[in-house]
Amino acid sequence: MNDDAQLSITQLDDALQHKAVEDFAKFYIPLFDANNLEVMSNFDVAAYMTDINEHLTYGRYMTKAQRLSDTVSFSFTAYLNLIDRLDQKYYTSGNPAQPWDEWLATQFAQIANS
């Protein structure tokens, strides 16, 4: 994680929070569809994931764009709380310190080495 990124997602302004949530949802939805969310379950996030996942299930027949827009709109607060607990810092630009794919790989490596 880059030392220049010191903000939590909740410290970003509203527009940057929305950007960060949408970017995360683009990462999250394919993991949900592949039933590959077990790494996140190592964090205290089950309640947030349950809310997000339930709504994603209802929207499975939407287009990708509709589904993304719908989940971000409907589950914004759950995404915000989920991200806040995943040990990810942000730059003032709203970009994560570590791209989410790299974050996931790091988490898998830590689990493999524990």
Per DSSP, what are the bridge partners of residue 96?
90
pLDDT classification of 2: cutoffs 50, 70, 90: very low
**What is d(CA 22, CA 18) in angstroms, rounded to the nearest whole number?**
6
Helices in the chain by DSSP H: which ranges?
14-33, 46-58, 64-74, 76-84, 100-112
Query: How confident is the prediction for the chain on average, in pLDDT?
Result: 92
Range in 25-29, 40-44, 67-71 with the lowest mean pLDDT: 40-44
Check residue 3 and give its pLDDT. Answer: 56
Residue 67 predicted with pLDDT over 90: yes
The candidate with the shortest Cα–Cα distance to 50, out of 27, 73, 79, is 79
pLDDT classification of 63: cutoffs 50, 70, 90: very high
Residue 112 predicted with pLDDT over 80: no
